[in-house]
A and B are shown apart, each in its own frame.
Chain A
Amino acid sequence: MTAKDLSKDEFFYGHKACAGCGGSLAVRNALKVIGKNAFAVLPAGCMSAVGFNFPQLCFANNAIISTFAGTASMLTGIEAGLRAKGITDFTSVGFAGDGGTADIGIQALSGTIDRNDNILYICYDNEAYMNTGIQKSGLTPFGAKTTTTPAGKNIHGNIRPKKNMFEIVSAHNIAYSATASIGYMEDFMNKVKKACGISGTKYIHVIAPCPTGWGIPVSDTVEISREIVDCGLWYLAEYENGEFTLNHDPKEFTDIAEYLKKQSRFRHLTDEDIQIIIKSRDAKWEKIRRDWRR
């Protein structure tokens, strides 16, 4: 899919997301791919906070806020309810952030995948609880400074790596899962489109930077979400029919230090810290290149 193939309809419009918000771009374009028959569920979090302030209601399609933990279970209920009423031409799609997915919502998500309910779950990952003011989530990367993982003399930000949601979800033997980045928009849109054509549970994990939380200029959201892929700290991949496939295999990674130093959340990192990040990237890619289809 390219820009030309996209619907001209705008479904997510007039919202109060911060300027340059990556999450809102992910939601906007996913809905343009899915179309007007999307029933969107958004848990308490950034995208619901900016899109649903009565009487300013920013979704042109059917959309509803769920409890923080209840994105996946509400998707299940909507899908079952519509089916019970004989409605078949729709997509039950969820948009939850990293905390709503990897932390508080992981139980309901696991249940939905276990039942193989026919829904699409999109995690827009901005790597911390941004809506409440940049607190650490289970998807905050190693070394990142957040308001609950301060960078001081003793501790250099977050001491734990990101949870591997893509592989956790895939380990359920899910019908389809994929990783994406809003910096590679066509790839993301293709995956959304592909997911819409698959029956069962689909999960797409899309990196969607938050300029405020990452400490970058608001104009740099797209650029940084390309760089995270180019330096190897994120990868574009898919899981279906029991197999992992790497979609994009960079011949050479760009400089991790350069990627990190652009963001104020990483600016405190020492050379040793950066070496840890490089080693962990290399170990991951060694496994990916050994085990996944390319």
Chain B
Amino acid sequence: MKPYLREKKNFGFSDIPESTSFEAGYLVSVNSGWRSIRPVVNMEKCVGCMQCYLYCPDGVISVENKKAVIDYNFCKGCGICHKICKLNAIEMEAER
């Protein structure tokens, strides 16, 4: 369960609900454009300790098969994961 990107992004008159009530977790835009640097996981070093997952304010890190995986659509590049990782398994690299 997680808010996710939807197909329908533009809302005209007839799409606007009657009241201020709408489907929960409806996303129409990503946050990737906010980043100037991006976290990159070093798969050799990562042991899947989940600390980066635990402390990510945006919840964009999941741990799959004992490795951290980052959703770059929504990562803002804050670098908390890089700081929190005791094994230096996440490096911040400049966005091109």
Contacts and interface: CB of A to CB of B under 8 A. Distances in A.
A and B touch in the complex (CB under 8 A): yes
A60 B2 contact: yes
A233 interface: no
Given A16-B31, A20-B78, A57 B83 contact: no
Interface in A164-204: 182, 185
Interface string B57-96: 1111010000000000010111110111000000000000
A19 B34 contact: yes
Nearest to A16: B31
A207 interface: no
Interface in A1-52: 2-4, 6, 8-22, 24-25, 28-29, 36
B62 A63 contact: no
* Residue from B1, B11, B60, B62 whose CB has the most chain A CB atoms within 10 Å: B1
A36 B24 CA distance: 11
A59 B23 CA distance: 9
Interface stretch (A109-117, A132-140, A215-223, A255-263): A215-223
Nearest to A22: B57
A62 interface: yes
Nearest to B49: A3
A55 interface: yes
Interface in B5-36: 5, 9, 11, 20, 22-31, 34
Contacts of A220: 83
Contacts of B56: 25
Nearest to B10: A55
A172 B78 CA distance: 39
Interface string A209-243: 00000000111111100000000000000000000
A275 interface: no
A58 B27 contact: yes
Nearest to A51: B3
A249 to B, nearest CB: 24
Given A11-B25, A56-B27, A218-B79, 6 more contacts: A3-B54, A17-B57, A60-B1, A60-B3, A63-B24, A219-B79
Interface of A: 2-4, 6, 8-22, 24-25, 28-29, 36, 54-63, 182, 185, 217-223
Across the A-B interface, the 3 shortest Cβ-Cβ residue pairs: A219-B79, A3-B50, A20-B78
19 contacts: A10-B3, A11-B3, A12-B59, A13-B27, A14-B3, A19-B77, A24-B57, A24-B58, A25-B55, A25-B56, A28-B57, A36-B1, A60-B3, A60-B24, A185-B55, A218-B79, A219-B82, A221-B78, A223-B83
